Amino acid sequence: MQIVIAILVFCVIIIIHELGHFFAAKACGIYVREFALGMGPVIFRKKGKETEYVIRLLPIGGSCSMEGEDGFDESRQYAEDLLPGENTVFPDDDKKPAPRSSRAFNAKPVWQRIIVILAGPVMNLVLGFFVVLTSLCCADVMGSTVISTFRDQSVSSSRLMVDDEIISIDGTHIFCVSDIVYKLQSSDRLNSEGNLVFDITVKRGGEKLLLKDVEFMTKTGENGNSIYFDFLVYRQEKNFGTVITESFRESCSTARLIIMTLVDMLRGKYGLNDFSGPVGTISAIGEVASSPDYSLSDFLSVVSLITINVGIFNLIPIPALDGCRILFLLIEAIRRKPVKPKVEGMVHFAGFALLMLFMLVVTFNDIVRLVSGGQT
């Protein structure tokens, strides 16, 4: 059952992404040939009014195939097949006429094409916001960023005070309580006494104060040393306004966390073994869904992290991803002419091949972790 739930969640995230492309294309009058969920052999096919709807065997992707999105469309004909006097344009790369279909993707203005490509990632971000909203509605409490009390053996209380509102930690702005947890957990700056230290900006009595080298004690556990969270924060009153505001802050926080992680990856902080593909993602969703230690709110938090991750990752200008397609469209808007379809196609093909290779390696690592976890 946990595998079924995880696969369904994964499919919903993919469908929402492709529906973004689909509805934006329809709104711009673009002919959509096929709307597909999954990859591999076709297990279901149904022809709609003009679009063919397909389900494929492997639920690890999807596609919204539009007429002319690869620089060509089915209305193209070789020059010798054209009627005399027809208005045609011959690109430099293949000497074939430009598409005559007004509903082709590449026949639309650049701004419309950017909207169509951008709609997929944006839909994932919107879905993430509503999942966060649902998670907060289901949660028993909703935390703030204002200190309410200190625990026993508190060290930070020598600098921090009750009713301090935490504004930033080590220069990173704090949107919500999860930002506090992440920043305090992710630091490794120790002082001579072995305590973690942070530069924390707080609002105290209506004024902002920068507190340098605020100490937090570390504790030793099964997984090594970790920070001792020696203060608690006030609960927020749950009403329409606070839930909407906190949902927006949590969504922004998650998006920023993903971007920070990608930057850390480029800096070499994370290796290949730290990544998870579809198998690892489905496993993580299933584990949270079936564990008695996690609530519905925790499950939805994981789902929101994944769907926002998909949205952010697709905006990166990596060949074969939406971000790279948007980059080519921006270049076209600046140059006032498109990049040659053959050149763009080769870039996307190379990027797709590398992504597939990367996915195979990551999936192999996911399976190894699952097997080793099952043995232990």
* Measured torsion, CA atoms of residues 324, 337, 29, 346, in degrees rounded to the nearest 10: -40
Residue among 176, 102, 121 at smallest CA distance from 146? 176
More confident residue, 206 or 219: 206
Beta-carbon contacts of 108 under 8 Å, excluding residues fewer than 6 positions away, are 28, 29, 30, 116
Residue among 163, 195, 165 at smallest CA distance from 180? 165
Helix residue spans in 139-276 (DSSP H) = 177-185, 240-266
Domains of the chain, each with CATH number or no CATH: 2-136+298-375 (no CATH), 143-235 (2.30.42.10)
The predicted model scores a pTM of 0.79
Q: Give the pLDDT mean for 45-55.
A: 90
Q: Say if residues 219 and 195 touch (Cβ distance below 8 Å).
A: no
Q: Give the pLDDT mean for 236-259.
A: 91
Q: Please state which of the ranges 80-84, 234-238, 268-272 shows the lowest mean pLDDT.
A: 80-84
Q: Residue 64 pLDDT more than 60?
A: yes
Residues 318-337 have pLDDT tens digits of 888 899 999 999 999 998 88
Q: Give the pLDDT mean for 80-96.
A: 42
Burial of residue 84 (CB within 10 Å: 0-12, 13-18, 19+) is exposed
